[in-house]
Amino acid sequence: MVTQKVLQKMAKRHGTPILVVDHDVIRQNYATFKKHLPRVQAYYAVKAFADPVVVKTLFDAGASFDVASMPELKIVYKNIKEMPAKERQDWIWDKIIYAHPIKADKTLQELNQYKPLVTYDNHEEIKKIKKYAPNAGLALRLKVPNTGAMVELSSKFGAAPGEAVDLILEAVKAGLVVEGLSFHVGSQTTNFDNYVQAINLAYSIFQEAKDRGYNKMNLLDIGGGFPAPYDSTVRPFSELAHKINVEIDRLFPKEIQILAEPGRFMVATAATAVSKIIGKAVRDGKVCYYIDDGVYHTFSGILFDHCQYHLNSFRKGAKQICTVFGPTCDALDVVSMSEELPPNLELGELLYSNNAGAYTIASSTPFNGFPPAKVVHVNR
């Protein structure tokens, strides 16, 4: 991670707020994922940090990509446009999954030319894919336990196990090719047993499909949810990887491709937010700092992602509990009601927040006239 000195230098050069992205950390996170899950191909979830420079770093490292919108697909496509047409198409088939189970008709029409792998989880989506994107390969998204996940997804997406094979056979009857299964155990999942249960459920669906005459599935997408080490309560990734490896090797032969969609794991620890104190007050005996970044910008994860970001001062000294507000006039714009900071910081001093790489630019808006943080890349 970049040093405090570099952060201060960047803030002086670019102004604040800024989001400093260390690409060495991204590469390290990718290498860690591959080391502990050697059989799993990492499809980076572009929505976690949809920046072309980040995508390029992961592209060069060997990653594949999970996209959930056409703008995300086009960010990835820019990295491969120089390839020969045939090689490019093979790359898309092997390296991109459009992992949003519900797609607009227009999106499917655009996707069809790329012949991508797409997910689905219901009858209506089969009809839409057949009509608008018949060249796509399909992966059925299963509903699996999301217990202990920071962001639960199973109430919105996923076919129930009892209807899974019916949906597979319905797609096949419509003339489509079902390549395999996918699932998602929920974002920032610290309950590792979710993966164990989901992999075993997927295996049972594979077996039922074979028993009912369909044996052409050749991939399993184990989704995202791999937890970023925000604090010491998150158990080591190696522990989770061991559980996954044991179940995959026990249940699925080598010819079955294993995919995953890590997003947060790849980028959360790679970025640091730097902001400036633009106001200060004492309210009910507590020091309150106002900074030029907030929940409408880098810290949107507080509202949308159930995430808490801790702020630090570059100045050393005694600390006490302070409140940190964002810059807008909205009372909702609260970064932290209880942050340990020096009480004697002055206007113009800087604060920084580590582990700010995941979903921090996803929901930024220019609300109230305040612009989002500028993204600054450190690519050594």
Cα–Cα nearest to 40, from 24, 61, 58, 64: 64
Is 362 in contact with 372 (CB distance < 8 Å)? no
Q: What token pair was written down for 84? A: 């020969």
Is 151 in contact with 186 (CB distance < 8 Å)? yes
Whether 286 has a pLDDT exceeding 80, the answer reads yes
Q: Which helix (H) or strand (E) holds 148?
A: none
Look up residue 133 and give its DSSP letter: -
DSSP per-residue codes, 9-43: HHHHHH-SSEEEEEHHHHHHHHHHHHHH-TTEEEE
pLDDT in tens, 151-194: 656 778 999 999 999 999 999 999 999 999 999 998 788 888 99
According to the model, what pLDDT value does residue 106 have? Answer: 97
**What are the C-alpha distances in Å from 152 to residues 46, 143, 188, 305?**
19, 11, 9, 10
The whole-angstrom separation of Cα 223 and Cα 157 is 12
Query: 361: pLDDT confidence band, cut at 50, 70 and 90?
Result: confident
The whole-angstrom separation of Cα 135 and Cα 128 is 12
The domains located in the chain, with CATH, are: 4-19+272-378 (2.40.37.10), 23-267 (3.20.20.10)
pLDDT in tens, 63-111: 999 999 999 998 998 877 766 666 665 655 568 999 999 999 999 999 9
According to the model, what pLDDT value does residue 6 have? Answer: 94
Whether 370 has a pLDDT exceeding 90, the answer reads no
- From the candidates 288, 307, 322, 329, give the one annotated as an active-site residue: 329
CA 26 to centroid of chain Cα atoms? 13
According to the model, what pLDDT value does residue 78 have? Answer: 81
The whole-angstrom separation of Cα 231 and Cα 213 is 48
pLDDT in tens, 292-343: 999 999 999 898 888 889 999 999 999 999 999 999 999 999 999 999 999 9
Mean pLDDT of 32-46: 97
Whether 214 has a pLDDT exceeding 80, the answer reads yes
pLDDT in tens, 195-213: 999 999 999 999 999 999 9
Of residues 370 and 216, the one with the higher pLDDT is: 216
Cα–Cα nearest to 74, from 48, 46, 54: 46
Other CB atoms within 10 A of residue 274 CB = 29
pLDDT in tens, 221-255: 999 999 999 988 899 999 999 999 999 999 999 99
Is 328 in contact with 296 (CB distance < 8 Å)? yes
Three state DSSP letters for 323-372: EEECCCCCCCCEEEEEEEECCCCCCCCEEEECCCCCCCCCCCCCHHHCCC
Contacts 24+ apart (CB under 8 A), 2-11: 2/272, 2/378, 4/314, 4/352, 6/378, 7/272, 7/274, 7/314, 7/350, 7/352, 8/274, 8/314, 8/350, 10/274, 10/376, 10/378, 11/274, 11/276, 11/350
According to the model, what pLDDT value does residue 310 have? Answer: 94
According to the model, what pLDDT value does residue 190 have? Answer: 82
Say whether 322 is catalytic: no
According to the model, what pLDDT value does residue 139 have? Answer: 98
According to the model, what pLDDT value does residue 17 have? Answer: 97
- Residue 370 CB partners (closer than 8 Å, separation 6+): 292, 294, 296, 297, 327, 328
According to the model, what pLDDT value does residue 1 have? Answer: 76
According to the model, what pLDDT value does residue 368 have? Answer: 86
Query: 366: pLDDT confidence band, cut at 50, 70 and 90?
Result: confident
Other CB atoms within 10 A of residue 369 CB = 8
The whole-angstrom separation of Cα 188 and Cα 167 is 29
Percent helix, strand, coil in the chain, to 5, is: 35, 25, 40
According to the model, what pLDDT value does residue 324 have? Answer: 98
Provide the mean pLDDT of the chain. Answer: 93
Mean pLDDT of 27-51: 97
Query: 148: pLDDT confidence band, cut at 50, 70 and 90?
Result: low
Mean pLDDT of 35-49: 97
The whole-angstrom separation of Cα 309 and Cα 98 is 30
Look up residue 276 and give its DSSP letter: E
Provide the percentage of residues in the chain whose pLDDT is more than 70. Answer: 94
